[in-house]
A and B are shown apart, each in its own frame.
Chain A
Amino acid sequence: GESVGLHLPTLSVQEGDNSIINCAYSNSASDYFIWYKQESGKGPQFIIDIRSNMDKRQGQRVTVLLNKTVKHLSLQIAATQPGDSAVYFCAEEANDMRFGAGTRLTVKP
């Protein structure tokens, strides 16, 4: 069946460095993608989204890249801060929304 997954379950970066979190998807019919941030014991928060007719979208300190050729999605966080420590997961929308398991980002001071 179709699935959404992440390459790495954990990522540790130094404060101030850039972070890149990856996501692989397998449903070529997916036309909308979202990145969520989830802090411990809390609900997911929307970070940024991208539609399949785009390959890049930028927000405040975050950039999402979409490579439809290899079905790959990435989230780049610039100048990572301690407050960015959380689990990040992607979601894809085709006929319904499917969520990846997540990557835990830890920011070292």
Chain B
Amino acid sequence: DGGITQSPKYLFRKEGQNVTLSCEQNLNHDAMYWYRQDPGQGLRLIYYSQIVNDFQKGDIAEGYSVSREKKESFPLTVTSAQKNPTAFYLCASGQGPLTYEQYFGPGTRLTVT
């Protein structure tokens, strides 16, 4: 059953703590993406990776970090430096190297208090 998974669905953290969101895909896609979704706004790109061991900053990378050690996995760490981390985070994958159609995971809702 191919697809893209994110875990957990809901995540709660205290301010000042780092937290890592998981994203796994078995679609054999080269490209993976992390977006942040806030109410009333379009998706905003945090980081993307077009190939293993390589990734680039998106529009709002400050306070976030990623790794791409395996083709299937693209975890996102929300660090304590991120000023407003509470949001819905979406991971996507695509065949790459150009974006074209992206397949989205179910999302993780992060709440930081």
Contact = CB atoms under 8 A, between A and B. Distances in A.
What bracket does the count of chain B residues touching chain A fall in? Answer: 20 to 34
Interface string A36-74: 100001111110010000000000000000000000000
A93 interface: yes
Interface residues of A, number: 21
A101 B42 contact: yes
B35 to A, nearest CB: 8
Q: Give chain B's interface secondary structure class.
A: loop
Contacts of B35: 99
A46 B42 contact: no
Given A44-B90, A89-B42, A102-B42, A97 B107 contact: no
A43 B109 contact: no
Interface of A: 4, 9, 32, 34, 36, 41-46, 49, 89, 93, 96-102
Ranked nearest first, the 10 interchain pairs of A and B with the lowest CB-CB distance are A43-B104, A99-B42, A99-B43, A97-B99, A44-B104, A43-B106, A101-B42, A43-B107, A100-B42, A43-B105
